[in-house]
A and B are shown apart, each in its own frame.
Chain A
Amino acid sequence: MSARATPPRRGAQRTLGAFVRKELHHIVRDRQTLAILLVMPLVQVLLFGYALRTDIHDLRVAIVDPSPDARSVRLRDRLEGTPRFRVVRTATTALALEDLFRRGEADVAVVLPARFGESLGRGEPTEVLLVADASDPNTGTIMQAYVRAALAGFEADVTPQAGGPVRIRVESRMRFNPTLESANLFVPGLIALVLTLVSALMTAISLSREKERGTLEVLLVSPLRPWQIIAGKVLPYLGLGFAITCLVLLAARLAFRVPLRGSALLLLAESVLFTIVSLSLGVLVAARTESQRAAMLGALVGTLMPTALLSGMIFPIASMPGWLQPVTFIVPARWFVVIARGIMLKGTGLAYLWRETLVLTGMAAILLVAATRSFHARLD
């Protein structure tokens, strides 16, 4: 019969210390989460740092010069010589401009008035028109600033007297987004984000939940083929995504007067296409993960983050470092944002957007096939 010995005790800090140590163990041993926690901020820092740069490297300038002469040519040379600029087109009328902008081939246009050189020579005030593609309002302002600076420099060179009145006045227009509404900027991207959320994330969670709960096992031992199971899971989210797109458009229209200058039908059709891409990604994520939590993390990192950071919806792709820009090619949202902006702000249609649509269609086809194959008829 043993006497009960009470072990010596210590204070509350011991208990706390023991607990903190345990939590540290948990954190360090969950490799997956740890990797994400460490890598994600790093990636974000890099991206924010690079992508948030407001300078632009490669400004595509179109020049309209109705009456070319020595002075106007000198201006053109100067613009061409400026390192950040790349003159893509020189024309005598402004007719070609609209097309250039719609196709996204020019960022800014410098429109000289008729007999520009003459007026300048006579010392008369002349007005130069700057038109910038401001579907991205951030870059619109910046581009303007650069061109103005170049013009000011030209004027300083050309006018003999120093300190004279500024002859070249700049009138600027922001094409497609005259009031530089930021809502116009992000609503197209917002649609992409919302669709990604609903399609990729929710699908991934829903499928992995079946796996985790064990109900998938029961469904498999039935006449249902895997594609039927996937379709049954996915179709409601397709409908939901569609409904949400309409909702977002409506709300943006009413609250912020975001325009829809192109075909609404085309926009919805492209949304459906994009949703299919996201859904397939969601299924793929669910097929590779064993738990809801892992599926959620996988969907977040694999679909939501790239959509938010690399699609051009917030950070202009043109501002990203050279090595990052090709990476954005594999982000489906990148193509969709171009399409959505084109339709909503520029009023363009399939004629201009067929390339991007083709890319999305290709992605949809490949991912759909991969997703269907990833769900096996058996557990192994």
Chain B
Amino acid sequence: MSGSSSGAGVEVSGLGKRYGDVVALDDVSVIVQPGELFGFIGPDGAGKTTLFRILATLLRPDTGSARVLGLDVVRDLWAIRSRIGYMPGRFSLYADLSVEENLRFFAAVFGTTLEAGERLVAPIWRQIAPFAGRRAGALSGGMKQKLALCCALVHLPDLLLLDEPTTGVDAVSRREFWDLLEELQRGGLTILASTPYMDEAARCDRVALVQGGRILDVADPRRIGERFDRPLVAVRAAERLRLLHALREHPGAGSVFPFGDAIHYTDARADRSGERVAAELRDYLRDRAFPDAEISVVRPGIEDVFMALMRPPAGAAA
């Protein structure tokens, strides 16, 4: 991780927050550079929402500090609030107002107008303009998220906080949404987004893997495979369940997980090369009546790294 930001991004240091017995955030530190498209990847309950709420000045941290755009989240909350755009998890617009009424309302709340926000809103507006008069509650999931994004941009913020903006939205709309985010980033906006979808992580400049209130790792998604300290082997065969059991019973088995139509296997012994592991498996599987198993060494993706770094989830059972 590079040194401190120029003050226009986000600096989080030793952040902690608990709700009664539950530790929501545990010593979280991260730096987001200005102009970055930064992703927080992790499952529900990982602490992403709590982190975003602290950055949005909605919650006070118990320990540690955070600075957004060079301003302290506790002391300078009003200065921050007028300069950031925030999109919380659930659909949080007014369902009984129309698309346009929602936009004009939020513009007015920030003391500006819909027209003044054109620069950022225009590309998205083009997609939702045909539905300007429709009740926001009657839109599809994808359209609602785009509207919410518009409302967060209408006052021309310097930084966007998007908490799980694509949950429950179909794959096509999700892609379109991230296309929009990339376009906004090219315009100079700093964007922090959290998501449970690993494939969206790939579109970020850098990602932080979050689980159980901690950051497991921060890396460039394109290079995240380097975090893997041993070869990853993908195995394909017709009888998936039987293959799964067979691989798990292999004496050298480290991690064995289904991944799409293949099974990803890592060996428990760190010193083997990819080719050696593959060869061993080929022999082993042939003995187990898998003559046509396809075995190849593959590059680890974000999900592989995430699962390798994860602590076992509560109630880890096969």
Q: Which residues of A contact B (CB under 8 A)?
A: 213-215, 217-224, 377-380
Contact = CB atoms under 8 A, between A and B. Distances in A.
B94 A215 contact: yes
Contact of A218 (B57, B59, B78, B86): B86
B267 to A, nearest CB: 33
21 contacts: A213-B92, A214-B88, A214-B89, A214-B91, A215-B93, A215-B94, A217-B58, A218-B106, A218-B151, A221-B56, A221-B58, A221-B81, A222-B81, A222-B82, A223-B81, A223-B82, A223-B111, A378-B57, A378-B58, A378-B59, A378-B60
A281 B77 CA distance: 28
Interface in B128-162: 151-152
Given A219-B109, A221-B84, A214 B92 contact: yes
A223 B90 contact: no
Interface string B272-302: 0000000000000000000000000000000
Nearest to A219: B109
Contacts of B151: 218
Nearest to A378: B58
Contacts of A213: 90, 92, 95
A220 B88 contact: no
Interface of B: 53, 56-60, 77-78, 81-82, 84, 86-95, 106, 109-111, 151-152
A219 B77 CA distance: 14
Q: Which 10 A-B pairs have the closest CB atoms?
A: A214-B92, A221-B86, A379-B58, A223-B82, A214-B90, A217-B88, A215-B92, A221-B56, A222-B109, A218-B92
Contact of A380 (B60, B77, B87, B109): B60
Given A213-B92, A380-B60, A223 B78 contact: yes
A149 to B, nearest CB: 63
Contacts of A222: 81-82, 106, 109-110
Nearest to A232: B109
A221 B91 contact: no
Select the residue from A213, A214, A223, A377 with max chain B CB neighbours within 10 A: A223
A221 B109 CA distance: 10
A217 B110 contact: no
Contacts of A218: 86-88, 92-93, 106, 151-152
Contacts of A215: 92-94
Contacts of A220: 58, 81
A377 B109 contact: no
Contacts of A379: 53, 58-59
Contacts of A223: 78, 81-82, 109-111
Given A214-B88, A377-B77, A221 B93 contact: no
A217 B77 contact: no
A214 B144 CA distance: 14
A117 B211 CA distance: 98
A222 B151 CA distance: 12
A378 B61 CA distance: 12
A229 to B, nearest CB: 9
Contacts of A219: 109
Most buried by A among B60, B92, B94, B110: B92
Nearest to A217: B88
A38 B190 CA distance: 55
Contacts of B57: 221, 378
Interface centre among B89, B95, B109 (most CB of A within 10 A): B109
Contacts of A217: 53, 56, 58, 86, 88, 92
A377 B57 CA distance: 9
A378 B53 CA distance: 10
Contacts of B78: 223
Contacts of B88: 214, 217-218
A213 B144 CA distance: 14
B89 to A, nearest CB: 7
Nearest to A376: B58
A221 B89 CA distance: 14
A378 B73 CA distance: 11
A73 B86 CA distance: 83
A217 B81 CA distance: 11
A377 B78 CA distance: 9
A213 B57 CA distance: 19
Nearest to B87: A218
Among A221, A224, A379, A380, chain B packs the most CB atoms within 10 A around the CB of: A221
Contacts of A380: 59-60
Given A215-B92, A218-B92, A224 B56 contact: no
Contacts of B86: 217-218, 221
Nearest to B79: A223
Given A215-B92, A222-B81, A377-B77, 11 more contacts: A213-B92, A214-B91, A217-B56, A217-B92, A218-B86, A218-B151, A221-B86, A222-B106, A223-B110, A378-B58, A378-B77
Contacts of B92: 213-215, 217-218
A137 to B, nearest CB: 45
Nearest to B95: A213
Nearest to A221: B86
Contacts of B58: 217, 220-221, 378-379
Nearest to A214: B92
Nearest to A216: B92
Contacts of A221: 56-58, 81, 84, 86
B78 to A, nearest CB: 7
A223 B81 CA distance: 6
B152 to A, nearest CB: 8
A221 B78 CA distance: 8
A232 to B, nearest CB: 9
B77 to A, nearest CB: 7
A220 B77 CA distance: 10
